[in-house]
A and B are shown apart, each in its own frame.
Chain A
Amino acid sequence: MDSGDLFFTARAKSDPEKALAKARLIGRAYRRMAAAAVNVGDLDLLQGLDFLRQEASQGVPLISANLLDPSSKTPIFDPYVMQQVSGIQIAFFGVLSPNFQPEIADRIPKRVGEHIFIKDPVETAREMVLKLRDKVDMIVLLSDLGSHRDHELVKSVPGIHFVFGGHEGLGLAQPKREGKTYMFQSYAKGMFVGKLRLAIKNPGLPFQDEGGVSRIQEQIRNLDRHLQALQKQQADQPGQQLAQRIQWINQQKAKFQEELRQLSGAQSQENHFLWTLVSLNPSLREDEDTKGWIQEAGIDQD
């Protein structure tokens, strides 16, 4: 799945013909990967709606719940898709921001200005959750709003399990949490993919971050190393300040140990997940067919 700004760059100088050829190859590659859902981001509007409609008709699962036809006020693409995976029914819906990125703010209205209406994302998300919550086990939001707006949206709209965001191209090594909702970001330009592994015992129960345990264990190890160094220093040259520092670190360690104990206990009863950012470095094997399509198109660099 993709949370938006898949096809085009904001760079004004890019050759439109080459940009379209590359965008078509990307669409083909996402079809080959059997992407479940691709959210429309503001950059995706740069070459107009016809390109996106064509991609959707060829099988790219484009979604947007708040990109509407201005006259009918109905979604231009599917507002959501549902997928059943391992017996779990998942709904993916998408939103984009009504405020375009500054570099393209004047270019989008020229291309699609009178052909689109972008509805308030929070209102849209609320309607989507009401519509989907009795139909599916899990609701996933693909967002092109940016991390701050994702956070605001999740605060106003409970009931979304996971938000996969983008827009600014940031990455999150550990998810953000608001209530029962977790938010993730996976950087930009194909540098990384985000991988979320879920183990679901009962979709109605909250999710527990498995990575939280390893992060706390790492914190404890770091504190232990620090503590050893300070204790050695204290043995060589005792001092009041050093003793206070050691005491403070011991208190921190005890706090983390308690947190770890609580997390480990909860993990046996709840659903849990593990989030990792996987670097797409050149050592990974290329898909030969996709590589062939790119070569056929005569493209050797971005």
Chain B
Amino acid sequence: MKAGDLRNALGYSLEWVKIIGSFCSNVRYNGYKKSSQHGRNMRNIAWILFVLAAVTLFPFHPVEGGAAEVTLIHTSNVTGHLFPCPS
């Protein structure tokens, strides 16, 4: 996935989290009595869905100041040396 795709995926993910979040709120406040077993089950399912969505749809690291940070470490010509030569 390229970074452009990443931004699209992120926008898409946000939409889904909003939808599921809104469903959770509706389950919480409408339709079911808070005290009924069925209502509690539905609320629990909705919140599990919300948490799952948040975890699985945001697999990317947050970036500082809008920039992704990557560190690359390079070695070359180690030529069989287990003990570093003094630099």
Contacts and interface: CB of A to CB of B under 8 A. Distances in A.
Contacts of B79: 5-10, 43, 169, 188-189
Contacts of A217: none
B80 A86 contact: no
A201 B87 contact: no
A195 B71 contact: yes
B55 interface: no
A2 B76 contact: yes
Interface of B: 1-3, 6, 60-61, 63, 65-87
Contact of B72 (A7, A167, A198, A201): A198
B76 A86 contact: no
B78 to A, nearest CB: 5
Instruction: Name the 8 nearest CB pairs between A and B, nearest first.
Output: A166-B76, A188-B77, A190-B84, A194-B74, A191-B87, A169-B77, A199-B67, A86-B68
A26 B77 CA distance: 12
Interface of A: 1-10, 14, 19, 22-23, 25-26, 41, 43, 84-90, 135-137, 140, 162, 164-169, 184-203, 271, 279-282, 294, 299, 301-302
Given A191-B86, A199-B69, A87 B77 contact: no
Chain B contact residues: helix, strand, loop or mixed: loop
A301 B82 CA distance: 8
A149 to B, nearest CB: 14
A25 B78 CA distance: 13
B80 A188 contact: no
Contacts of B67: 199-201, 271
Given A89-B3, A202-B3, A203-B3, A22 B87 contact: no
Given A140-B72, A200-B68, A281-B87, A166 B77 contact: yes
Counting chain A CB atoms within 10 Å of each CB, the highest count among B66, B70, B73, B76 belongs to B76
15 contacts: A2-B78, A8-B80, A90-B70, A165-B76, A169-B79, A185-B76, A189-B85, A192-B87, A195-B74, A198-B68, A198-B70, A199-B67, A201-B67, A202-B3, A279-B87
B6 to A, nearest CB: 5
B87 to A, nearest CB: 4
B82 A86 contact: no
Contacts of A88: 3, 68, 70
B70 A22 contact: no
Contacts of B84: 189-191, 280-281
A87 B80 contact: no
Given A7-B80, A185-B76, A193-B75, 16 more contacts: A2-B75, A4-B77, A14-B80, A41-B77, A86-B63, A86-B70, A87-B68, A136-B2, A166-B77, A187-B77, A187-B87, A189-B77, A190-B85, A193-B73, A279-B87, A280-B84
